[in-house]
Amino acid sequence: DGVTEVLARHSENLQDKFIEIPCSEDYDGHKRFEGCTPRKCGRGVTDAIITREEAERIRRIAERGLSLGGSDGGASILDLHSGALSLGKHFVNLYRYFGDKIQDIFTEEDFALYRDVRRRVQQRIAQAFGIHSASMYLTKPTFFSRINNTEAKTTHDEYWHPHVDKVTYGSFDYTSLLYLSDYAEDFGGGQFVFMDASSNKTIEPRVGRVSFFTSGSENLHRVEKVHWGTRYAITISFTCNPDHGIGDPVLP
């Protein structure tokens, strides 16, 4: 474990923090897209692009959707794009499973806010890495997560293992997380940890905080186990390859 450094404390209100790091070779094995594929790699944190009130509204979308299901273990997933929802030890398609009742759970305003938040995150990432936001495409999986301290029942519940997004999901070039609950107030544990050779660097979630990073091995990371309470976040992922792009979710 070695030395741990806190990059962003939950008590701080950060305008913009960006740390450039050398790129790994992960991108070399994939087709390069000029003006998008990372040439500059790094990680950033900002509390300045999504308001607390907007993040709380987004969390209520997650709470309403996840109330329809939920994993038997500690980690539950809701993907508004594909309709995937944790239910017991499996996943169901929310839209097929609940049909027309979805209109009673989500509104057009919910989906409009979701799109607007995605657009702002995309623009912030493009600005930080010196690329054009139009060259980036939303990619899957992009999903809400709800994590508590219930014991894992399947491998899907084991969220705490170190991983590299570009290795796990080949399409990922840029990863972002919008936090929807407060570290040390809504939950304990659950910090986001970058695992560098010399030290661990942690981000403490805060409602409305966005962290983002290039998806290669330069950003090996994990989430610490949640010890108490409930941690909500949304993972929003981008690719440079239009073949792997997906559209914003629409209300059926």
77's tokens: 């997933």
Domains of the chain: which residue ranges?
Answer: 4-243
For residue range 112-151, list pLDDT tens digits in order: 999 999 999 999 999 999 999 999 999 999 999 999 999 9
**In the predicted structure, residue 233 carries a pLDDT above the cut 90:** yes
Pairwise pLDDT comparison (252 vs 201), residue with the higher score: 201
Phi-psi category of residue 34: left, alpha or beta, with phi > 0 → left and psi -120 to 50 → alpha: beta
Cα–Cα distance, 142 to 159 (Å, whole number): 15
Q: How confident is the model at residue 252 (pLDDT cuts 50, 70, 90)?
A: confident
Angle at 44 between CA 39 and CA 45, to 5 degrees: 165
Q: ω into residue 242 within 30 of 0, thus cis? A: no
- Annotated catalytic residues are 231
pLDDT at 128: 97
Q: Strand 226-229 to strand 187-189: parallel, antiparallel, or no bridges (unpaired)?
A: antiparallel
Instruction: Write phi, then psi, for 172 (nearest 5 degrees).
Output: -65, 130
pLDDT at 1: 53
Cα–Cα distance, 111 to 89 (Å, whole number): 27
Other CB atoms within a 10 A radius of the CB of residue 120 amount to: 16
Other CB atoms within a 10 A radius of the CB of residue 28 amount to: 10
Q: How confident is the model at residue 3 (pLDDT cuts 50, 70, 90)?
A: confident
Q: Where are the alpha helices (DSSP H) in 77-203?
A: 94-98, 108-129, 165-168
Helix (H) or strand (E) holding 173: none
- Identify the CATH homologous superfamily for domain 4-243: q2cbj1_9rhob like domain (2.60.120.620)
State mean pLDDT over 15-21: 96
**In the predicted structure, residue 100 carries a pLDDT above the cut 90:** no
Phi-psi category of residue 227: left, alpha or beta, with phi > 0 → left and psi -120 to 50 → alpha: alpha
